[in-house]
Amino acid sequence: MTTTGRQRPAPPHVARAPRPAAVRRAEAAARAQQRRRSRRRRTFLVGAVVVLVVAALAVAVPALLGRDHGSAPQAGPSVAVASQPSATPTTAPAPTARDLATAAITTAWTDRWRGAKGFLGTASGPASCTGSEDDPTRCTQKFAGGTLVWRPAKGGTVTVAQTDDPATDLVIVNKQRPLDPRTFAPKKLVEVAGPNEVMRPEAAKALKSMFRAASKAGLPLVVHSAYRAYGVQASTYEGWVAAHGKKQADNESARPGYSEHQTGLAVDVLDASGSCGAMTCFGSTKQAAWVAKNAWRYGFVVRYPKGEEKTTGYVYEPWHVRYVGKKVAADVRATGAKTLEDFFGLSAARTY
């Protein structure tokens, strides 16, 4: 038996034996190729991610910009409409002064009344105007819950007022226009002369300012009667009826629900200097002349002027001033209107 004939199994370490140089070179080349492939794969992946990000931004950014400008993200249709050359600007007739007046009512309604108050409801029909198309003197727009009146005034200012609602400071009350509701009472009242004489805050502030100016001019004023509640006015009126009869009572006093004093915006003022402490002589005082000339500067009008009884329904009351705000008081003066009825185009109210 010879050893040459015996087949010894290859020892396990044979594989780790040094390989021929050619094999090592081939293996190195294969590894290098593998590394190049990995690099190419990484480059491709990074490129793909960049392309995806750019594509996402291309979609998202215009959508975000569109939202910033208040339009819908899909701005296609509106952009298409906007880019169409439109003949409207050149062919539409230029707005007339009347168009602008009615637009002013709409703007006031939108900005001031609808936003802040919300009581006017929907408009009933178009605004109606007096005067010519190019020179309207007054436009009125009725709403379910009130009326807005537009008046031009000198200096390019316009007045838009709500004349029906007693909660506004431009409500017009007279013998044909009772407060609605007749038992109306202001939400807030502040003292103007002790605890018994009160007015709405805006009117009280203006009155104080007017009194300061009058005192400065050497013509001090004092409050005679400010706010009167429905019940108080009822007693006052009944007192007049009892003393002088219904006819005279209606000339000198107001029925409850029809008095400006019930709005909290009207006040009777008297001379505080001591030379005249009563209504009967107030008209002949320097104070009365000062009030007639200057009340508008503080937002008041002398509500019942001399010679306007047929419109206001009241005899001359130089002591009775009504707060309407500085702007409207100035506008009333600028237009030369003698009464608030004239100013707002409301019917005369000689009698009930």
Interacting residue ranges for Zn ion, rule: CB under 5 A? 268, 320
The first and second tokens of residue 132, run together, are 């010519």
Of 200 and 320, nearer to Zn ion (C-beta) is: 320
Least distance CB 177 / Zn ion (angstroms): 16
CA distances from 214 to 144, 207, 288, 328 (A): 42, 10, 11, 21
Least distance CB 93 / Zn ion (angstroms): 49
**Could you tell me if 244 and 252 are in contact, meaning their C-beta atoms sit under 8 angstroms apart?**
yes
Least distance CB 296 / Zn ion (angstroms): 18
SS3 23: helix
φ, ψ of residue 110 to 5 degrees: the values are: -70, -50
φ, ψ of residue 132 to 5 degrees: the values are: -85, 170
The closest residue (CB) to Zn ion is 320
Least distance CB 279 / Zn ion (angstroms): 9
Torsional sign, CA 19, 24, 30, 34: positive
The first and second tokens of residue 164, run together, are 């029906």
Element (H, E) at 66: helix 21-68
Least distance CB 109 / Zn ion (angstroms): 31
How far is 161 from 83, CA to CA, in rounded Å? 40
Of 143 and 296, nearer to Zn ion (C-beta) is: 296
Of 151 and 320, nearer to Zn ion (C-beta) is: 320
Of 120 and 197, nearer to Zn ion (C-beta) is: 197
Of 127 and 302, nearer to Zn ion (C-beta) is: 302
Amino acid present at 110: T
How far is 113 from 109, CA to CA, in rounded Å? 5
Least distance CB 320 / Zn ion (angstroms): 4
Least distance CB 295 / Zn ion (angstroms): 13
Beta bridge partners of 129: 139
Closest CA to 127 of 113, 142, 110, 114: 142
Give the strand pairing for 198-199 and 190-191: antiparallel
Of 197 and 268, nearer to Zn ion (C-beta) is: 268
Of 159 and 259, nearer to Zn ion (C-beta) is: 259
